[in-house]
């Protein structure tokens, strides 16, 4: 199965979940997603998701000076982002439960 296609469907949820624990700048979010097992996540996909979530009002931003180059734009969840995360999390659990039930019933029928 092509996990990159699955990732596209849940990238909003994954990015919001990463930012729930602490604010982060673009590459930091990419690094944390990869550390969580999303090895195939593309930098450009994450940056695009961050910009889209910001434009949608789910994130706020602030700049922090960097010793290694230009200022870093940090993203943080706001109330709308926390609400969206809660909704997406509920949807994910319902979907995953349905899929698990489907797979279990298929396994039982095959035996």
Helix or strand or coil: residue 79?
Answer: helix
Number of compact structural domains in the chain:
1
CA–CA distances in Å: residue 10 to residues 33, 38, 71, 108: 12, 11, 29, 29
Tens digits of per-residue pLDDT, 45-101? Answer: 999 999 999 999 999 999 999 898 899 999 999 999 999 999 999 999 999 999 999
User: Residues 45-66, buried b or exposed e (16+ Cβ, 10 A)?
Assistant: bbeebbeebbeeebbeeeeeee
Say yes or no to pLDDT of 111 above 70.
Answer: no
Structure tokens, 107: 């396994």
CATH code, domain with 44: 1.10.10.10
Query: What pLDDT sits at residue 105?
Result: 82
Say yes or no to pLDDT of 107 above 70.
Answer: no
Tens digits of per-residue pLDDT, 1-34? Answer: 567 777 778 999 999 999 999 999 999 999 999 9
> Residue 27: which domain range?
3-110
Sign of the CA dihedral running 63, 67, 17, 100: positive
């Amino acid at each position: 199965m092509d996990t990159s296609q699955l990732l596209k469907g849940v990238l909003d949820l994954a990015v919001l979940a990463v930012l729930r624990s602490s604010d982060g700048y673009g590459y930091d979010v990419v690094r944390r997603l990869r550390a969580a097992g999303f090895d195939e996540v593309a930098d450009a996909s994450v940056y695009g998701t961050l910009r889209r979530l910001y434009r949608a009002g789910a994130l706020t931003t602030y700049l922090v000076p960097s010793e290694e180059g230009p200022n870093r734009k940090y993203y943080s969840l706001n109330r709308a982002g926390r609400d969206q995360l809660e909704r997406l999390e509920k949807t994910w659990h319902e979907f995953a439960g349905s899929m698990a039930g489907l797979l279990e019933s298929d396994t039982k029928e095959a035996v």
